[in-house]
Amino acid sequence: MDSNYRIGFGSDIHRLVEGRPLIIGGIRIPSDTGAEGHSDADALLHAITDAILGALALGDIGSHFPDSEARWKDADSRTFLTEAANQMLKLGFRIANLDSVVHLETPKLRPHVEAMRKNIAMMLEIESDLVSIKAKTSEGFGMVGKGLAIKAEVVILVVNVR
Ligand code: MG
């Protein structure tokens, strides 16, 4: 039986260090520390990219944009997202909805959530009410709780419109 719907999951974690910008969902957030990585280290956009690729069993962000390649150094993660979205569109799929959790101890993300939702919706060319972002602290526990890491988790539902 062929299904019109596919579900995808993406998860990403980045170390937080001083002297790096903190970019989440394509939005720069004022912070004393930022995410370390080969690209701009936007954990949320990376997780969404992986969720889209995963829904269509197209591999993962690392196989499409290897961090061993110099051209992805400090790359804008919006490039990864739009490339994955274009592959999805070519296969005849559209996003039904997207839900996410960003785990970060500090700063508080709630004031930035609406801007992130709008920005992601714009990049994916969908309505922002299809994009959910929840922000959670880890109550002081683990790498996230100690302020050493940011983690993002995403589920996405895509539907074949052909
Ligand atoms: Mg990443």
Of 117, 125, 28, the residue nearest 76 (C-alpha): 28
* pLDDT band for position 2 (cuts 50, 70, 90): low
pLDDT digits (tens, 9 = 90+) for 6-24: 999 999 999 999 999 999 9
How many whole angstroms from 112 Cα to the centroid of ligand 1? 20
Which one has a higher pLDDT value, 72 or 31? 31
How many whole angstroms from 92 Cα to the centroid of ligand 1? 27
How many whole angstroms from 12 Cα to the centroid of ligand 1? 5
Q: What is the DSSP letter of 143?
A: H
How many whole angstroms from 13 Cα to the centroid of ligand 1? 6
* pLDDT band for position 68 (cuts 50, 70, 90): confident
In the predicted structure, residue 1 carries a pLDDT above the cut 60: no
With H, G, I as helix, E, B as strand and everything else as coil, classify residue 153.
Answer: strand
Count helices and strands (H / E) in the chain. 5, 7
Given this model, what pLDDT does residue 80 score? 93
pLDDT digits (tens, 9 = 90+) for 79-135: 999 999 999 999 999 999 999 999 999 999 999 999 999 999 999 999 999 999 999
How many whole angstroms from 89 Cα to the centroid of ligand 1? 23
